[in-house]
Structure 1
């Protein structure tokens, strides 16, 4: 089985501290939590922060790899992201929760002596990072439950 055929396993554990979640990916451990105003202790980013971090980190890595291959003079890459929910423009019943769509705003800031054409190309490449593509595809989530 090739490395690309292996299933990636990430573990999550919600302990006794209300919403604080310990997440483990291989040898890496992260904490997620909710802000205090919703009952958490704000001991880590919330799940939507991690969603944005996943997309943002994939974006900058993809851009860096592309710029390196092209030998473009990219000195630094920043991405700023925001997430919010907005009403669909053509909603029939705007009070229906399904009428709200998730919006992610992604601003790229690239430091380096690049032409307008190169910057526009980087913008296009940013939309081709694997996480960006995954988020735009139909995703099937298969859930199971067991009792311990």
Structure 2
């Protein structure tokens, strides 16, 4: 598959190798949860994906418009609220745009960031399908 990411874990708790083509990174859990703290925890990776996607989308737009943007920073956090019937995750993104821009330009860049592919994915229904592949056959 074109966009297939391969994740593997060996015997070391909970260090996980993530591969995409020639690229790789490590995910892990903090020491207080039994991990080695060698990489981002999975929830941090998800929040990172949203922040990175927003920042890249905003940068692409600013570049196309040839607007002078020195820095875009996105601070992303989450909070889970549980009820008897469901749990709701609130993801908060604080966006800071530094550059030679007026208020309307900053608002336009911000609005474009709200349409990044990862945010669109998470705001629409998601179906996760898992299959156990028997390697002993």
**Deviation above 6 Å: which 4+ runs of structure 1?**
none
TM-score (norm 2): 0.91
Q: List per-residue Cα deviations over 1:97-137 (Å, max 9, x = no partner).
A: 61x31111111111102111111112211110111101111
* Counterpart Cα distance in 2 of 1:97 and 1:110: 39
Aligned partner of 2:42 in structure 1 is: 47
Distance 1:97 1:32, change over 3 A: farther
TM-score (norm 1): 0.85
Aligned partner of 1:146 in structure 2 is: 133
- Residue 86 (structure 1) shift: 2.3
* Counterpart Cα distance in 2 of 1:66 and 1:113: 15
* Counterpart Cα distance in 2 of 1:117 and 1:124: 10
Q: List per-residue Cα deviations over 1:33-78 (Å, max 9, x = no partner).
A: 1111111111110001110111111111110110111111111111
Aligned partner of 2:101 in structure 1 is: 114
- Residue 147 (structure 1) shift: 2.6
Aligned partner of 2:4 in structure 1 is: 9
- Segments of structure 1 that go 5 or more residues without pairing to the other structure are 1-5, 88-93
Q: Secondary structure at the match of 1:140?
A: coil
Aligned partner of 1:21 in structure 2 is: 16
| 1:1-148 correspondence to structure 2 within 5 Å | 7-87=2-82, 94=83, 96=84, 98=86, 100-148=87-135
CA RMSD of aligned residues (A): 1.4
Q: Secondary structure at the match of 2:80?
A: strand
